[in-house]
Chain A
Amino acid sequence: MTAALAGCTADDEGENAEILDETLTLTTTTSTYDTGLLDEVNAAFEDRYGVAVEAVAQGTGAALETGRSGDSDVVMVHARSLEDEFIRDGYGVNRRDLMFNDFIVVGPEDDPAEIDGMDDVTEAFQAIAETESTFISRGDESGTHTKELAIWDEAGIEPSGEWYREAGSGMGEVLNQANQTPGYTLADRGTFISQQSELDISIRVEGPIERGPDLLANPYGIVAVNPGVHENANYDLAMSYIGFITSREGQEIIEEYTVEGEQLFFPEAVSENPNFQQYVPEDWTPDEE
C-alpha cells in the first residue's frame, strides 16, 4: 500500500500542482531548529508529501503568538503551561506529546556556587543566588525561560541583582554569553550538546535523562492552529505533518538523530497506552463544558 502510494505520488509530481505549490508554515523553538533535527524531519516529510515546510525558529512564546495571529499552521514548542493557554483560548487543536529531552544547569569549571553534581536543582538555584554567582537568563518568554522561572519560583527566590542577567536572546546566544562571562545558565540538553565543542562551560546539574530531578524534564508538544479561528490556516497539511512526525517513521527519525554521537531527543508519541492528558489542557475536566 505504501509502495503503491509512493509510486503514485512520484508519477503525479508536477501535475499535482495544487498540493505541490502549498507550503506549510511551522513556528517552533530555537532548540529544535538549531540542533538540526527539523531539517532531518522536514526533508523526510517533503519527500513523502511533496510539500515544502517553512520552519521559523522563534522561541516558544513568539511561536505561539504567531499561531494566535494565524500566521503559522502548526506550532512545535516546549512549555506545557503556555500550550495549554493556547488551546484553552481556542487557537490550537489536536495537541500531541511529541518527544522529550531535559534541561541541565551549565556553568564554569571553577563552580563558584559549588553546585556540581547536586540532585536538587532548587538547592542549586538557591546556592547560585546566595553566592550571587552570575546567572544568565534567557529572558525571552521561551520554553526554557518559562522553566527557569518555574524553578526560581519553586526555590522561593525572586532573582534580582547584578548577578542575574536577562539576555533576551536564543539558547545558542545565551550559551555563548554564559561561556564568555562566565556564568551559570539553564539550557536544554540538545542545544548544549550540539554546541558543546565551542564551549568551556560544562554540565553542573544533570536532568532526568541522566538521573537528575524530574523538575528538569523538557517535553515537546505539537499543536495545529484551529481552522475554526483562522480560516486560512492550512489545517489538513498541519495534520499531515503532525501525523507524520508522531508516526513510527517520524518518531524513528527523532530517535536516530544524533549530534556528536549523542541522541538529542527521545520520542514519546507512539504508545500502546496513550496518555489522554496530551490532547487537552493538563488540568482540564469535562465539567468545564
Chain B
Amino acid sequence: MIELVSSLVPIADSFTPFIVDFPFERNYVESIIYVSLYVSLTAVLISTLVSLPIAMLVGFSEFPGKGFVVALINTGMGFPSVVVGLVVLFTVSNEGPLGTFDLMFTTEAMIMSQFVLATPVITGVSLAAVSSIEDGVRDAAYAMGGTRLDVALVTIKEARYGIMTGILAGLGRAISEVGSVLIVGGNIASSDGTSVTRTLTTAIQLEARQGRFETALILGAILVTLVLLVNGIVLRLGGGRV
C-alpha cells in the first residue's frame, strides 16, 4: 500500500508544471507528445476522409451482401494492432511493394498503420449513426429539391454526434495502441533525447522494460490527460451534447 502511494506521488507532481524533480528532460517528453499527436491526428484525419464517404455509401444504399460488408467493417474494429503492424511492415519494408519509398521506421509508416486501425472504427460507428437517421429526414431533403451532396450534408449534420463519437473512438484506438507503431516505427529517439518515432505508448513500453515504472506511470498519466483533453475540446466544439 505504501509502495502504491509513493508511486502515485510523482503522478500528482506531473500535473503541477515546472516541478523540480521531473525524472526526464522536458525536450524528451515534449517531442514524444508531438510525435504521438502528429501521427495519430494525421492518421485520424485521413481515416475520417475515407470513412465518411464509405459510411454514407453503405448506409444509404441497399445491395446484396450489405450485411457481409457491415460485418467486415465491424470485424475490422477489433483487428489486432500487432497484425496490422506486421502487414504494414511487410508493405513498407525494403523488400515489400512500397520498399522504394524508404518508409521503414518513419512516422509515415506509423500513420499508415494507425490509419488501418482507425478507419474501421470510424466507419463502423459513423455507419451506425447514419443508418439511424430516419428516412424522413432524407426524403424531406430530396423533396426540397436538394442535390445528392445536399442530402449527404444534411445527413452528416443530423448524425454529427454519432460521427464525432466515431472519430473520437478512432483517435482513442490510434493514440493508445502500441503494437503496430513499435514494429513499423522502431521506437527511435535521437541521441539528444528528441523523439523521432517514439510515441507515448512505445515510450511507456520502453520505460517499463527498463524497470522505471514511475516514469512509465507519469507518461501514462500524460497520455490519459491528452486523450481527455482532445475529447473535451471536441465535445465543446460539438455543443456539449453527445
Contacts and interface: CB of A to CB of B under 8 A. Distances in A.
Interface stretch (A79-87, A130-138, A168-176): A168-176
B188 A170 contact: no
A37 to B, nearest CB: 11
Contacts of B208: 173, 176
B196 interface: yes
B192 interface: yes
Contacts of B190: 42, 46, 52-54
Given A34-B209, A54-B105, A198-B211, A71 B191 contact: no
B105 A71 contact: yes
A165 interface: no
Nearest to A169: B209
A180 to B, nearest CB: 10
Nearest to A195: B211
Interface residues of A, number: 32
B95 interface: yes
Contacts of B197: 54
A149 interface: no
B187 A232 contact: no
B6 to A, nearest CB: 14
B186 A69 contact: no
Given A42-B191, A53-B191, A173-B208, A232 B102 contact: yes
Q: Is the interface of B mostly helix, strand, loop or mixed?
A: loop
A43 interface: yes
B209 A172 contact: yes
Interface residues of B, number: 21
B191 A56 contact: no
A176 B211 CA distance: 6
Interface string A17-56: 0000000010000100010001111110010000011111
Given A38-B191, A43-B191, A52-B190, A232 B210 contact: no
A236 B193 CA distance: 25
A212 B16 CA distance: 49
Nearest to A56: B186
Contacts of A52: 190, 196
Given A43-B191, A54-B196, A56-B105, A71 B93 contact: yes
Contacts of B209: 30, 34, 169-170, 172-173, 176
B94 A34 contact: no
Contact of A25 (B93, B105, B211, B212): B105
Contact of A69 (B95, B188, B192, B210): B95
B104 interface: yes
B3 to A, nearest CB: 12
Contacts of B99: 70
Contacts of A54: 105, 186, 188, 190, 196-197
Contacts of A40: 191
Contacts of A170: 209
A53 B192 CA distance: 11
A58 B74 CA distance: 33
B211 A57 contact: no
A73 to B, nearest CB: 11
Interface string A115-131: 00000000000000000
Contacts of A199: 211
A106 B104 CA distance: 37
A20 B168 CA distance: 39
21 contacts: A25-B104, A25-B105, A34-B209, A38-B191, A39-B191, A40-B191, A42-B190, A43-B192, A46-B190, A52-B196, A53-B190, A54-B186, A55-B188, A57-B187, A58-B186, A69-B93, A70-B93, A71-B93, A71-B94, A71-B105, A172-B209
9 pairs of A and B residues whose beta carbons are closest in the complex: A70-B94, A56-B186, A42-B191, A172-B209, A43-B191, A198-B211, A71-B104, A172-B210, A39-B191
Given A25-B104, A40-B191, A54-B105, 4 more contacts: A53-B191, A170-B209, A173-B208, A232-B94
